[in-house]
Chain A
């Protein structure tokens, strides 16, 4: 197979309209992967709308412990502190909002106080809506207190300083931290430890997870944060998207596996096929 002429042919055919990265030439492979992933989503969402059983999800200990944390707050008569993370309206914040929705419904059911904090003004109305909706669904629309959904400041350490103060002064019994965190993650965790709170954390920043692990009682590792929406809600459509997510990783894993096998036997055919355009 003449890779060079294949590349030339594809460059002339696709160069005018399909985007690619000039250095890595992964444009065509990326589009193939996107089509595959979109198809997986479409298939599994279609299947989820029917009645056929979906896949069972493996256990995630950190998410199972949320009920225990809320129960502890109810017994002790102390509030839950829910931290939405340090990012704006990103995927990690939305993953956190999905968990917030679950937590808020339980907090309403057990008549426990919850303080929600956010760093960005653009996240504030979304957080308010999520918590308010839970009070409406829980049959206690008048129970929602606007002062329990708080914006402090968008400054990183100003926010950390404020959260440290709130955690200790309000004597929170559960400190839930889900979202994207930077270096101040340990400040939040240590404040919760001082307050004697049960702590559950999850972040998609791999450099901060090592600090949550020793400081918190439970810690979600890696993408367990993004699985929370489907895991907690047990919603069929969300579970279907989680299955499609796993299938996307399977594609990458199989591609890598084939590449390793071929490379071991001295052939770069997989890499060459990946970098055609």
Chain B
């Protein structure tokens, strides 16, 4: 019963949400939007504390036991508590001018810098790809090279038809292949979702 009821709940909720989109039924559509969707949004919002509990448990335990890098866990916990305190108790919560200024003095810089680190990592990955370990890696390298050259003026200077070749690869090979893969991925996603819905995949149900 403890396993059967959740599987039944999954199936009933899923089928109701799904069936609503196949038929024109305003009352069913309104029910799904007002109750089913809202229940999912509200219930998953209240679960946000579980992530916090996990994060705090790991870092507070590390601090208590003076494990490796416990000092950095202190900075994590202190930062977390400061932001949580400010965010909950300042007027307007996350829309408060000071909270936004405080957050924006930290997060956008860290985020955009992590993003820009990709520039260096992409060079490192491309360098390893350039070693042409296999015919397939060579094909990938060649294609990337042509596309890059085709999109900069020097490409046309080196070999005038380069931009046209680059466009041809994008339009004929890239588009068709990605479309075929999208078909496959969609079918794969549908199959996986169907397995979740009918209870073939039950790994998400807790061990007792």
Interface residues of A in 78-135 (CB under 8 A from B): 89-92, 94-95, 97-98, 100-101, 120-122, 124-126, 129-130, 132-133
Q: How many residues of B contact A (CB 8 A)?
A: 59
Contacts of B61 in A (CB 8 A): 147
From B114, B181, B184, A161 is in contact (CB under 8 Å) with B114
Q: Is A276 an interface residue (CB 8 A)?
A: no
Given contacts A94-B196, A155-B111, contact A190 B125 (CB under 8 A): yes
What residues of B have a CB within 8 angstroms of the CB of A73 in the complex?
Answer: none
Is B128 in the interface zone, CB < 8 Å from A?
yes
CB neighbours (8 Å) of B117 from chain A are 187
Whether B191 sits at the interface, judged by CB under 8 Å, is yes
B48 touches A146 (CB 8 A): no
* Contact surface of A with B, Cβ cutoff 8 Å: 15-19, 31, 34, 37, 41, 89-92, 94-95, 97-98, 100-101, 120-122, 124-126, 129-130, 132-133, 136, 146-147, 149-158, 160-161, 169, 183-184, 186-187, 189-190, 193, 204, 206, 210-211, 213-215, 221-223, 225-227, 229, 237-238, 241-242, 244-245, 248-249, 252
Rounded to whole Å, the gap between the CB of B65 and the closest CB of chain A is 11
| A contact residues around B21 at 8 Å (CB) | 19
A and B contact pairs by CB, cutoff 8 A, 25 listed: A18-B23, A19-B24, A91-B196, A97-B201, A101-B203, A121-B50, A122-B47, A150-B54, A150-B58, A156-B111, A157-B114, A187-B121, A190-B125, A210-B140, A221-B181, A223-B184, A223-B187, A225-B188, A226-B185, A226-B188, A237-B200, A241-B191, A244-B191, A245-B190, A245-B191
Complex formed: what's the CA distance from A32 to B189 in Å?
Answer: 19
**B118, A186: Cβ atoms closer than 8 Å:** yes
Residues of B within 8 A of A213 (CB): 129, 137, 140
B window 20-55: CB within 8 A of A: 21-25, 44, 47-52, 54-55
Secondary structure type dominating chain B contacts? helix
Q: Which residue of A lies closest to B143 (CB)?
A: A210
Which B residues touch A161, using CB under 8 A? 110, 114
For the complex of A and B, the 6 pairs showing the least CB-CB separation, nearest first, are A226-B188, A121-B51, A214-B129, A223-B188, A157-B114, A91-B192
B204 at the interface (CB under 8 A from A): yes
B81 interface residue per 8 A CB criterion: no
- Establish whether residues A169 and B54, one from each chain, have CB atoms under 8 Å apart when the complex forms: no
Is B158 an interface position by the 8 A CB rule?
no
Shortest Cβ distance from residue A223 to the other chain B in the assembled complex, whole angstroms: 4
How many residue pairs bridge A and B at CB < 8 Å?
A: 184
- In chain A, what residue has the closest Cβ to B191? A245
Complex contacts, B129 vs chain A, CB 8 Å: 213-214
User: Are A249 and B204 neighbours in the complex by a CB distance under 8 Å?
Assistant: no
Mask of B98-126 contacts with A, CB within 8 angstroms, 1/0: 00000000010011001101100110111
CB of A133 within 8 A of CB of B207, answer yes
CB-defined contacts of A190 to chain B, threshold 8 Å: 121, 124-125
Chain A CB within 10 A, most for which of B61, B117, B140, B178: B117
Interfacial chain B residues near A100, Cβ < 8 Å:
203
A41: nearest residue on chain B (CB-CB)? B194
Give the distance in Å from the alpha carbon of A151 to the alpha carbon of B204 in the complex. 16
**Interchain nearest-CB distance for A203 vs B (Å):** 10
* Interface residue from B22, B183, B206 paired with A252 (Cβ < 8 Å): B183
Cα separation A241 to B110 with both chains bound (whole Å): 44
Contacting residue for B22 out of A19, A41, A126, A214, CB 8 A: A19
A231–B103 Cα distance when bound, in Å, is: 46
CA distance A217 to B44 in the complex (A): 36
Q: Contact: B178 with A206, CB < 8 Å? A: yes
Chain B residues contacting A120 (CB-CB under 8 Å) are 51
B128 cross-chain contacts in A, Cβ below 8 A: 193, 214-215
Residue of A nearest to B126 (CB): A214
> Which one, A95, A152, A206, A221, contacts B55 given CB within 8 A?
A152
CA distance A213 to B128 in the complex (A): 10
Of A121, A130, A223, which contacts B204 at CB under 8 A? A130
